[in-house]
Amino acid sequence: MSIVITATSGHLGRLAVRDLLARGVTPSDIVAGARSVDSITDLAVAGVRTTVIDYDRPETVQAALEPGETFVLISGNDIAGRDRQHADVIAAAMRAKAGRLIYTSGLKATESPLLIAEGHATAEGFIRDSGLPFTILRNGWYSENYERDLPAVRATGVLRASVGDGKIASASRADFAAAIGTVAATDGHEGQTYELSGDVAWTYDELASALAEVLDRDVTYQSLTADEHQQMLEGAGLPPEMAGFVVAVDQGLGAGAMAFQNGDLARLIGRPTTPLIETLRSIA
């Protein structure tokens, strides 16, 4: 039976396909979906079957799936519309009689202080109500999330955020993709919900130290209040709503939304998770 993966034009989905190939899964047994197949020609060249899968066109999901196949649903990034998208996609998987559904959720989704976790909890409810065999992968924080901060930190030597003393147990996207590969390619995961996070929980002071080593310059962490952070972001040109979203994420991180650790990720992938500084070196 084939493994059908959505959103493979994005970082996580593409890495999941690459992980399956590295495990020795026959390329023709992998179906890579994206809104445009032109964006995943590299996967087609590797022998993977490619197809259109568009969350706003659930008929494309049904067309991509055969009864009994494994369906990997990479969570959508349209925050405003993804509850509807996820509901439609899961319903399409039900109509197609998927053999099992693997969903990339958020760490501690049903109790997280992050507002964006609500959509994951809603999707998990849809999945549990669907009657399909499922595995839920609750992904934590990607170390690559700091790529967008690198230019400013390199220029100023200051890392500004409003996370306070909150800890973050991040891992690399490749680590999370390897968890997808493990669950998709092996048995014994039905009905499981895995909380996936890195082996080490670090503070922003420790992040600043790691950035200093990677960038070869002094870096300090400037801890802002929520109001100071909002004002700074708006002063830099961000619309108030977008600035508020960024601040809300930082407040959630400060409250421990990404600090949870239980070793699930390392156990699934069979190795330690990638150290923060190693990922920072790869993106600097």
Q: What's the per-residue H, E or C state across 73-119?
A: ECCCCCCCCHHHHHHHHHHHHHHCCCCEEEEEEECCCCCCCCCCHHH
| Three-class DSSP category at 202 | strand
pTM summary value: 0.96
Find out whether 64 and 50 touch, Cβ atoms under 8 Å. Answer: no
Q: How far is CA 140 from CA 15, 114, 118, 167, 262, in A?
A: 16, 12, 14, 12, 12
Give the up-direction half-sphere exposure of residue 279: CA atoms within 13 A in the CB hemisphere.
19
Hey, what CATH topology would domain 3-139 get? Rossmann fold (3.40.50)
Per-residue pLDDT of the chain (284 residues; tens, 9 = 90+): 899 999 999 999 999 999 999 999 999 999 999 999 999 999 999 999 999 999 999 999 999 999 999 999 999 999 889 999 999 999 999 999 999 999 999 999 999 999 889 999 999 999 999 999 999 999 999 999 999 999 999 999 999 999 999 999 999 999 999 999 999 999 999 999 999 999 999 999 999 999 999 999 999 999 999 999 999 999 999 999 999 999 999 999 999 999 999 999 999 999 999 999 999 999 99
* Residue 13: closest CA among 184, 134, 259: 184
